Structure 1
Amino acid sequence: MPVNEDNYKENYLSFSLTADNCGEEPIHRPIVIHNHGAILAWDKDNPNIPVFISDNITSVSPKFKVEEYFNLFSKDWMVKDMYHAFEEMEDPFSWNSIDPVPIHIEGKPWNIIRHIHGNTRFIELEPVYSEKNLLGRKLSSFHEIRMVTEPLQYIDNIPELFRVFTEKYRQVTGYDRVMIYRFDEDFHGSVEGESKKDEIESFFGLHYPATDIPPVARELFLKNRSRIIPDVNAKTSKVIFNPKVKKPMDYLDLTYTQLRGTSPIHIEYLQNMQVQATYTLALIIDNKLWGLIACHHYSPFFLNYETRKTGELIADNLCRRISEIQFAKEQKKRIRFRKKEEDFNKHLVSSWEVLLQLINNKIDLVDLLEVDGAAIITSSLGIYHQGLAPEKDTLLKIYGCFEKNPDLFENDVCITKDIRSLLENKINLKDLSEEIGGAAIIQLKELDNCMIVWFKKSERTIHEWAGDPRRPYEINYSKNGDIRLSPRKSFEKWKNEVNFKCSPWDIVSVEMIKRIKDIIIKRNRDWNPFQSEHYKRELEQITYTASHDLQEPLRTIDNYLMLIDEELEVKDSSFNEYLDKTRSSAKRMSKLIDQMLVYSKVGSSGRMRENTDINIVINQIKEDFNLKIDELKAVINCKELPIIYCDPIDIKKLFQNLISNSLKYSKANIPPLIEIYAEETSSGWMFSVTDNGIGIDKKNFEKVFSLFQRLHHQDDIPGTGIGLPTCRKIVESMNGRIWLTSEVGVGSTFWFTLKSEQLNHKLKNKKYV
């Protein structure tokens, strides 16, 4: 029969079914119970007269009519053992709700099942039957647990674990079918293990929509871990309320009872499947409903209370074994990732800006997480990608989408196996390759509001459903307008193809993503003190004082060397050589001190800033280096460059040092080619100075920007080791960044940015790099 309003009036006092609220059905508060047992309830503080009883109490104790129980004290009608169990509930330390109390009523064996919930004291009476299993003999609880769980200890993979478990548990319970039913993150379910009678159809591998087990039912399984329906076709017994009790519904919460009636929709669902009896156990891992053990029988079938509670212990053992196998698998990956994390941490140093290290050191972000692609998206330093990743224009749109939707992040981390679902209606999805499925994004607000994105390939998956998941219910209307809602009648296999989603992000990868974020932030904060104004002022003062005070003794040394040269009448060749080397060293020392003075004055607040045409600056430098350019037959190309608001002395020194380096470190017999470009960014300008020189090894990318660090011997290529540190200081004094890309034997490119607040003119005819 279809489920109509009358069915719900029989089950509930105050719930009217609509097409929209079937997921809100109050299944924990029905006014019916399964009629194989009886239920009684009392106010916890007034245990004399029951507040409600089931109308089948007369089949247990036929001495009185149902209404008469409301006028009798409990001790007046209960048998001795039952009253003793009832009295024990006064003292919380003298009983527990797990162990049943065996009694005999009218010569028949019963179990008393007790619990207190809220203000209500419950007693359920359930018959004890002779059980049947596939072994042909009754097993003790100890033997049931051992028989099912002991073989599981030697299995180290999940599919085999489920195969053995379902086979063993069907033997000890006797059900026609035993299944392991697992929930996914959307609470759709799938059968991942099954043991059954040979002649019935297999459900293994089938998927079921989340509507089959709605949220209220899932929540109940977390509280009451087992549930039995001995006969779906049996009539229910009604709960009768004591007419003298005010607000009797306040006592009606059957969450923890064994006899609670079943939703009419679920009963019809089982009837449509031709299932006549069920027993279900919750699989709870990490306090979450991981799945269910679902047992089906195709004729009425009952398990005694002790066997059902033993089943809960067996389910706990299965959950523990699932966790152990999963943990062992995760540990292998954790060990592998720990080594990657250590290497990543070593690559990042505190003495150099972290974001530039991520870009310049070309850290393999793809291998770091064992994914398919990665990208670094910055607001001022450009976009860099590896492996499977969208084009730069699309990455910029993705960046904008996530920047405008901070609610997508939790602690600056967003992880999804379907990035399309987050970008839908925000960007044109045609720009996103069909190969890309999921993404993990970390937002680094402290690092130029940068984002790092990892991409995983989409996986084409075919799901086989038990019926069409799009139509879990059928809705019809009777002649009088009542809704007739029925669960789907067809369980014919229905297939759908799932595209554009990646495999789920496992917990180890999620942990790694969060640790990478923390490492980057920590390294950045370690670096930031080096940029403090106090530190810079102190360093400038030390450098200036040391440089200034050293000049006077150097001049004295040089004067004395001149006097010695003039006064000595007899001088051999060795003496002249020593004297020349000494004077050369003094001059080199003087040059070093001069450059230290220049370095200390970079960014000085006393210097005037003005509109400076970089095209004119480059022409002035060409004139300064005219002899060297002619000697090397060097070519310096530059597109039209912007006019910027800056200290003209500093900006000239910046380009002068970079061009000087390109000339100095050129390859023998190959004319130097130097190209200078400017590109407008969202926050300012990005410049590049590229040459075809000898190049720089990747391991020295940081070293070249450190004071007094030189890569070549003084006799091979003279220098002081201050030029590039001065460039860095000039750029940072203008709120920019400088970094390099290079390949040994091919050449180098020095990049630097200047923030928009430093600029007041734009290129008229831009030619981007």
Structure 2
Amino acid sequence: MTQASPDNLDITGCDREPIRTPGSIQPHGFMLTLSPALDVLQASANLAGWTGVDAGAAIGRPLAAAIGEAAVAHLALELGSGTLGQRPAYLGTVTTGNGQHFDVLAHAWDGLVIAEFESVMRAQPADFRHLYPLISDFLARVGDHASIPALTDLAARHVRSVTGYGRVMVYQFDPTGHGRVVAESKADDYDSYLDQSFPASDIPVQARALYTLSPIRVIQDANYEAAPLVPDVNPATGARNDLSFAALRSVSPVHLQYMRNMGTLASMSVSLIVKGQLWGLISCHNATPCQVSVEKRTACEQLGQILALCVESREDARELQFRLDVRRIMVEMLGRLTKGSDFIDNLSGVFPELLRFARAGGVAIVVDDRILTYGDTPNDASIRSLATWLAVHGHEVFHTDHLADAYPPAQELTRNASGLLALPISRIHQHYLLWFRPELVQTVEWAGNPYEKQAAANAPTSLSPRQSFAAWRETIHGHSLPWHAAEIELTTEFRSALLGIALERAEQMAELAEELGRANKELEAFSYSVSHDLRAPLRHIAGFSDLLIESAGSEDVAMRQRFLKNIKESARLAGKLVDDLLSFSQMGRAALRPTNIDMTDLVSGCIDKLALDIGQRKVDWHIEGMPVVCADPAFLHLAMFNLLSNAVKFTREREQAVIRITCDETADEFVFHVADNGAGFNPNYVHKLFGVFQRLHRMEDFQGTGIGLANVRRIIERHNGRVWADSILGEGATFSFTLPKQPINP
């Protein structure tokens, strides 16, 4: 197959090319696909040129007919062992019947054994001694304090010294897919691309996916004529062969023309995979055809893996330090916000820290008719309009580094408000904490006009890849410094802390007014209840996140979807609890909303909620005689959940936990009992059991805050009921409560 000429290349669909199933190979070797019995099922059309055996004549015959008995004797054990993986393994160097020497790579994929034979001049096996000095020298120079730029520069120089390529670059992708050359080692007569950027369109999405899957790719001569496979379909699948992992896989004609336009006739790319994602490439270029032997490629691939691990450790350390710095500022602010009675005045008192917290140029507080600003901010009218827009769109935490793109009036605010981080501090009112970042004018130096390929794709006729790689500068306006993920996450945490402070202030104000005594009592009960219950969804999030991480290699999509659904539901519940708490503190009181409740359903819901805490434990549940009662479902659910959660917790040392939920009935009330066979408690201290923060067991034995049973008592008494407990230490406990049959007044 002859490579397409520049005049008949169509790049409009290069992101959809079948790059994994090209149907052909590069001709500096030949390929055979084999059955388990080592019969030849397919052969590349250039077989005769390398071995003297016609490809068609080899099909259906034993492997020896294609490469000779001596070569088969050397390879048969490993080729037929059934132990080959999906990554090509070097099986040695063989001499075919006509005296030609080949390095042999083989892997099992697509239902076949794929054997690749790369022509070499030597009869001896590859000498992997190249690997050790390269890796050992690189490790010796890495050091704990070497920066990522220093590491990438070192890697570029080492790879060039081993391979002999004229130019070696380390190329890093940004979140949008654009790449920038962050390190380079080159001969004097090669153009430099250091610090220049390449558009994402130069490496389509499917190509980046293949780089992630197969970490090394070599093109020995961009002017090659591809050798097709005979027959052209995989006999095991009836479709074209998937050559994703094949070293000889033929590449896109568009990419080959791209190389020629760049003045490059040979290339090698080594993928840098960081945390499972394609971080960048070690990209090697040579102006003339260049062969890189298997041992040198292996050395470069190993160096790439070590570089990726070093990058990951440096980025993790940098991320951790950044989070610690931001959290330190947040803790400092929170300490100052608890001093003083006016919450808004307290916020304005930490304006400098607020700027440092978000690396912002200006900050504003919007509370009802008040607007307080600090630093370089838009005027009050613009801020009020922005707050109205945020309220209409219902954003929780909103962030952007290009505000005008989401909010067109911000085109007039680019100087000091190109970026925005908005934090709502009320669910009911338009109360916002706003951080503004100024415009950061950026000049990006591209290796050629990045819009040339886009223009070509939109043209009415098919065009070749872009011709020019001369430096082309672009100035980008209207953007700010992007918001760091840690800043966004800690802003959400800061919001929760602010709500806690606001709640504390609301409690203090309620205590000053006797006529608000009832409201204060309900606020206290509700705040304890919600904060206690909030840990459950957070534990679910953490637990299912761990399960999701552990299942990262699993192909069970349904299981991972279930984990994600549970994480999302738990996060939603946690957010709802915090928001409900804020709403209650702002409204002044939380009225009971009694309704008819089927206690069987309520108890079953609590048990389902406890599933993650129970895990693999054996719990024998007995539910008997549950009636329909009139009560507030949210409060009663919380009370029952606390009782069942305690029963689960205190039976954990039992091989078989037994928990009974029963109900007796009198003329006036229902009497519920939750009995377990757990640790029990000393009945001499039962009077302390329902007090806030009272514990009858050591924290080391049974963890808990000591407010769960206090919550139960408050809730039941609010419903005009009673609560009590009985126990025999070491044999179990029974907790009981009553609910009146007559509907309660809300």
> What TM-score do you get using the length of structure 2 for normalisation?
0.61
Contact 2:25 2:44 in 1 (8 A): yes
Could you tell me which residue of structure 2 aligns to residue 33 of structure 1?
25
Aligned with residue 286 of structure 1, among 268, 272, 275: 275
Contact 2:3 2:225 in 1 (8 A): no
* 1:299 has 2:288 as partner: yes
Q: How has the CA–CA distance of structure 1 residues 127 and 385 changed in structure 2, closer, same or farther, with 3 Å as cutoff? A: farther
Aligned with residue 196 of structure 1, among 186, 194, 197: 186
Q: Deviations over 1:600-621 (max 9, x none)?
A: xx9999xxxxxxxxxxxxxxxx
Deviation at 1:278, TM superposition (A): 0.5
Deviation at 1:232, TM superposition (A): 0.5
Aligned with residue 520 of structure 1, among 478, 498, 505: 498
Distance 1:531 1:34 in 2: 79
Question: Aligned runs of 1:412-431 on 2, under 5 Å?
Answer: 412-424=396-408, 427=409, 429-430=411-412
Code of the aligned partner of 1:416 = T
Aligned with residue 339 of structure 1, among 321, 324, 328: 328
Distance 1:203 1:423 in 2: 37
Q: How has the CA–CA distance of structure 1 residues 474 and 541 changed in structure 2, closer, same or farther, with 3 Å as cutoff? A: closer
Distance 2:370 2:319 in 1: 36
* 1:206 has 2:196 as partner: yes
* 1:232 has 2:210 as partner: no
Distance 1:506 1:433 in 2: 20
Q: How has the CA–CA distance of structure 1 residues 364 and 108 changed in structure 2, closer, same or farther, with 3 Å as cutoff? A: same
Deviation at 1:30, TM superposition (A): 0.9
Q: How has the CA–CA distance of structure 1 residues 174 and 603 changed in structure 2, closer, same or farther, with 3 Å as cutoff? A: closer
* 1:145 has 2:135 as partner: yes
Could you tell me which residue of structure 1 aligns to residue 167 of structure 2?
177
Deviation at 1:537, TM superposition (A): 8.2
Secondary structure in 2 aligned to 1:472? helix
Could you tell me which residue of structure 2 aligns to residue 263 of structure 1?
252
Distance 1:105 1:279 in 2: 26
Distance 1:229 1:151 in 2: 30
Distance 1:113 1:2 in 2: 25
Aligned with residue 469 of structure 1, among 442, 450, 468: 450
Deviation at 1:209, TM superposition (A): 1.2
* 1:460 has 2:441 as partner: yes
Contact 1:2 1:486 in 2 (8 A): no
Distance 1:72 1:370 in 2: 70
RMSD: 4.1
Distance 2:491 2:121 in 1: 55
Could you tell me which residue of structure 2 aligns to residue 383 of structure 1?
371
Q: Deviations over 1:500-519 (max 9, x none)?
A: 22233345434433432343
* 1:241 has 2:231 as partner: yes
Residue segments in structure 1 that go unaligned for 5+ positions in a row: 9-16, 132-136, 544-601, 606-769
Contact 2:416 2:436 in 1 (8 A): no
Distance 1:493 1:147 in 2: 34
Contact 1:50 1:70 in 2 (8 A): yes
With 382-391 and 299-308 compared, the bigger mean Cα shift is at: 382-391
Deviation at 1:352, TM superposition (A): 7.6
Contact 2:88 2:246 in 1 (8 A): no
Q: How has the CA–CA distance of structure 1 residues 186 and 512 changed in structure 2, closer, same or farther, with 3 Å as cutoff? A: same
Code of the aligned partner of 1:23 = D
Code of the aligned partner of 2:288 = S
Q: How has the CA–CA distance of structure 1 residues 500 and 476 changed in structure 2, closer, same or farther, with 3 Å as cutoff? A: closer
Could you tell me which residue of structure 2 aligns to residue 552 of structure 1?
none
Contact 2:111 2:237 in 1 (8 A): no
Larger-gyration structure (1/2)? 1
Code of the aligned partner of 2:437 = K
Aligned with residue 164 of structure 1, among 133, 137, 154: 154
Residue segments in structure 2 that go unaligned for 5+ positions in a row: 522-586, 591-746
* 1:114 has 2:106 as partner: yes
Q: Deviations over 1:359-396 (max 9, x none)?
A: 67767421222321223345x35433322222222223
Aligned with residue 15 of structure 2, among 4, 15, 23: 23
Question: Aligned runs of 1:296-375 on 2, under 5 Å?
Answer: 296-349=285-338, 358=347, 364-375=353-364
Code of the aligned partner of 2:208 = R
Question: Aligned runs of 1:708-723 on 2, under 5 Å?
Answer: none
Question: Aligned runs of 1:436-515 on 2, under 5 Å?
Answer: 436-444=417-425, 446=427, 448=429, 450-472=431-453, 475=456, 483-515=461-493
Contact 1:353 1:524 in 2 (8 A): no
Distance 1:356 1:300 in 2: 71
Aligned with residue 101 of structure 1, among 91, 106, 123: 91
Could you tell me which residue of structure 1 aligns to residue 387 of structure 2?
399
Distance 1:283 1:116 in 2: 24
Contact 1:3 1:485 in 2 (8 A): no
Distance 2:317 2:426 in 1: 36
Q: How has the CA–CA distance of structure 1 residues 18 and 108 changed in structure 2, closer, same or farther, with 3 Å as cutoff? A: closer
Deviation at 1:211, TM superposition (A): 0.9
Question: Aligned runs of 1:346-745 on 2, under 5 Å?
Answer: 346-349=335-338, 358=347, 364-378=353-367, 380=368, 382-405=370-393, 412-424=396-408, 427=409, 429-430=411-412, 432-444=413-425, 446=427, 448=429, 450-472=431-453, 475=456, 483-521=461-499, 523=501, 539-540=517-518
Distance 2:246 2:128 in 1: 26
Secondary structure in 2 aligned to 1:338? helix
Q: Deviations over 1:132-191 (max 9, x none)?
A: xxxxx9952111212234212265333333333322321122111111111122111121
Could you tell me which residue of structure 1 aligns to residue 632 of structure 2?
none
Deviation at 1:203, TM superposition (A): 1.5
Contact 1:218 1:289 in 2 (8 A): yes
Could you tell me which residue of structure 1 aligns to residue 115 of structure 2?
123
Q: Sequence identity, in percent?
A: 22
Distance 2:424 2:301 in 1: 44
Q: Deviations over 1:40-61 (max 9, x none)?
A: 3357xx6665554321222343
